[in-house]
Chain A
């Protein structure tokens, strides 16, 4: 820590908890924002700042789609346009439909007027008020967000981007060509400015400045609330690993559409605000370079980083409105000084897009996480914690993890019958029939390629069976979506560990609880007491879940999991699966990469889970362990169940030995 930093108190600042920092920053920033017009005394600066707020809104909106949910939207300007034209059409004289009774209530509400022109049919004059249109705009944009997002749900990253690019191009083309609606390339004019209690905003920048500040504050608040909620965690899980997110109960369709909707809504707010201030809207304001500009803001600031995105948006806005102008002046002066004609003619503003291109390339190559990435407060381990001998966990008495039994243990819980799946003509699962009883620990073993993981994938919904049925407590789950199966009570871990790498241990576990929590978007934003209690209990349960591993994970709760040791990543994944409160837990090679001591500890833990009443299906290659801990062992070979029974019996079964070691050759 440099002495300057220390004198500025940076180390003390960083030691404060996040909530405390926010408590201090929020009034300071708000205060500065409110006082800025007074402090600067220059109407031009206030106007520039008001325009900048539009950029900030757009960046915050795209941040939800790209930063939180990981969906690369290259056509974001479409929502900017829809919000803009939505208000523009409603508040200008563009549309003049014929009068009918339909419009009467709106006339009564003061939103439209009846135009009487002698010799013609009566028509409607639109003059919708700004304030309700803010909400209407947001809603319309949200709907379009879902409409444009829906076709992309099954596409992977770059294809998704292209489709959004397509929609992003269609909107301005429609705006340019549907002249009846939008007045074509000339654009809308005469859009009414907002009025508040009789005061007309007119063309003074000051009311727009405060309106913009309010909108930005609201958008920041909503973003923060969403990020730190069940919804935000679901988005980030999808961003990190969509497959694993589904396996933890996150419905990717629902949440992707939600991300598009929320992002579009914020963009629409920006559009409405911008156009109300500008009083005009033309198709050229919403072309591809605008989408790229918003992308530049988000990339520059840091995907998912709220403060980064705000700062970057302000920077880009001021770059465009102020900085390049000033720089150009300097260059001109320099040109006069050295007598260079070329320098005196340079207009840096025309190279704005060039700068954007350079920013994108440099950021992607050198600093993909952005200039101001999201604050990750990671507590360093104390000396004691670093050198502490690993302790075993407390007894596993997580009562909330005990499955509610419909009937006593021993009844059939998971019934697989005639299950088949082929890939390219090769049967990965060939008529598998297996019944697992409540409270059992069944191990599935077999040589490489025998179909064990395929079986897990079929049971958990990652792949659809070609034939056969899978029943959980009598209800068919075969072919259902993964998140539905999780909700029904089946959880799993993965052979090659699929954690949400950039999320912390705690966040990973909380995603595990997704299916057992209820907070939705409104609950996330407004945080009523019910939601606050829910979150608190979720954190408590997660702490208990982590404690089963003793002191190994507890000191590392807020560390991002990509930095953990292999064994700790394994443990986190297991704890995460337990958080879904499963009836059946499928563990795919949980002991891989663990030394014998760790393996023994893990097996004790698995026994403890079974003690809670959780039914366990285990794939493991350390056969000593398997034999020791299992009630029953099932052996697969080439997708076929070739043996089933007590461990000792299976181990000495000729067919099993042959499956592993190969058939003895007939002739030497």
Chain B
């Protein structure tokens, strides 16, 4: 009885984390599905998003030392925060695609991926130079309400908000991709770009749209990070990025439901694994999962195409 509530707590925590990884993995997997590119810069866009969010909040007068908000003010602030941040990160993603990736569209091999590594480094260091190496406190917008679940396990208001927002975003994305013509054009392009062209679909525009959506989702994920952990720093792209990347691969790279499933799995691995084996070994655990999946089952859990030998 004593251990069960600890496990439950870690499950709750893991799912909340998993939401964040899922949002980050979604954008990454969408881009891969369309142009088969491993986009390292995605995780730096994520990191940049936290700073964008920070700036937006500061502009709205909410700082690290402000009190938390409630009611209508909270809802309005959250909406403004998410909308602006997601727009900015979305545009940043489009900028990266146009300037750095489009020139390499027809180049095969690893040159495009290496370019994204370069872009990631540029973003990370721009943030470092602008905001400094110290961790920055993220305003605690959400009040610290919590409700007991069982024994010592409890669920916080923060987590509930994250679940809610994440769910809403995923439902919107799902509707977009499954029911709108544009979303179907995106799926068609991911399945067969040449045939999509033959249908009159403007593949270039679809790619730009995918980058925008994916980066906007990364922006949402970045706000999750700030709101949940209460801080940010120029280096958060590394660890969180790795975990989101593993989520995408585990779920099946290119698969949208796979990204969600993978994200939740990795979130659970992180919290349960941290509890049972030790926090300092989580990175090794997650890396090992990554390597195992890539070597033994490259198509992941829900993936359709196993990436073939070139």
Contact = CB atoms under 8 A, between A and B. Distances in A.
Q: Do chains A and B touch in the complex (CB under 8 A)?
A: yes
A51 B247 CA distance: 40
A357 B294 contact: no
7 nearest CB pairs, A to B: A360-B118, A357-B121, A354-B125, A357-B122, A361-B118, A151-B295, A364-B115
A424 to B, nearest CB: 13
Contacts of A151: 291, 294-295
Given A169-B287, A350-B129, A360-B118, A162 B38 contact: yes
A371 interface: no
B76 interface: no
Given A162-B294, A350-B129, A292 B113 contact: no
A170 B309 contact: no
30 contacts: A72-B114, A151-B294, A152-B295, A154-B295, A155-B295, A155-B298, A155-B307, A156-B307, A157-B113, A158-B110, A159-B298, A161-B38, A162-B249, A163-B295, A169-B242, A169-B287, A170-B283, A170-B287, A177-B280, A242-B309, A288-B238, A292-B117, A295-B114, A351-B125, A354-B122, A357-B118, A357-B121, A361-B100, A364-B115, A368-B111
Interface string B249-285: 1000000000000000000000000000000110110
Contacts of B242: 169
Given A177-B280, A360-B115, A354 B121 contact: yes
A353 interface: yes
Contacts of A292: 117, 121
Chain B contact residues: helix, strand, loop or mixed: helix
B122 A364 contact: no
A158 B38 contact: yes
A155 B294 contact: yes
A163 B115 contact: no
Nearest to A357: B121
Contacts of B103: 365
Nearest to A168: B287
A29 interface: no
Interface in A159-176: 159, 161-163, 166-167, 169-170, 173-174, 176
Contacts of B110: 72, 157-158, 161
B252 to A, nearest CB: 14
B118 A364 contact: yes
Contacts of B114: 72, 295, 299, 360, 364
Nearest to A362: B118
Which of B37, B104, B118, B288 is the most central at the interface, judged by chain A CB atoms within 10 Å of its CB?
Answer: B118
B2 interface: no
Contacts of A358: 118, 122
Nearest to B115: A364
A174 B37 CA distance: 30
Which of B114, B119, B280 is the most central at the interface, judged by chain A CB atoms within 10 Å of its CB?
Answer: B114
B19 to A, nearest CB: 24
Interface of B: 37-38, 100, 103-104, 107, 109-115, 117-126, 128-129, 238, 242, 245, 249, 280-281, 283-284, 287-288, 290-291, 294-295, 298, 307-310
Contacts of B118: 356-361, 364
Interface string A13-37: 0000000000000000000000000
Chain A contact residues: helix, strand, loop or mixed: helix
Contacts of B109: 157
A170 B287 CA distance: 7
Interface of A: 72, 74, 151-152, 154-159, 161-163, 166-167, 169-170, 173-174, 176-177, 242, 288-289, 292, 295, 299, 350-351, 353-354, 356-361, 364-365, 368
Nearest to A164: B291
Contact of B124 (A156, A353, A365): A353
A166 B287 contact: yes
Contacts of A167: 291
A132 to B, nearest CB: 31
Contact of B281 (A177, A351, A368): A177
A423 to B, nearest CB: 13
A606 B242 CA distance: 56
Given A295-B114, A350-B128, A157 B310 contact: yes
A181 to B, nearest CB: 14
B161 to A, nearest CB: 32
A434 to B, nearest CB: 29
A450 to B, nearest CB: 24
A173 B111 contact: no
A179 to B, nearest CB: 10
Which of A74, A170, A357 is the most central at the interface, judged by chain B CB atoms within 10 Å of its CB?
Answer: A357
A356 B119 CA distance: 10
Contact of A357 (B120, B283, B287, B298): B120
Contacts of A368: 107, 111
Nearest to A172: B283
B42 to A, nearest CB: 14
Given A155-B295, A173-B283, A173-B287, 15 more contacts: A72-B113, A155-B298, A158-B38, A162-B290, A162-B294, A163-B290, A166-B287, A166-B291, A177-B284, A299-B114, A353-B121, A353-B124, A360-B121, A364-B115, A365-B100
A169 B283 contact: yes
A251 B112 CA distance: 28
A170 B38 CA distance: 20
B190 to A, nearest CB: 17
Given A151-B291, A158-B110, A159-B307, A170 B284 contact: yes
A411 to B, nearest CB: 37
Contacts of B280: 176-177
Contacts of B107: 368
Contacts of B121: 289, 292, 353-354, 356-357, 360
A355 to B, nearest CB: 9
A162 B39 CA distance: 11
Contacts of B125: 351, 353-354, 357
Nearest to A368: B111
Contacts of A158: 37-38, 110, 113
B35 to A, nearest CB: 12
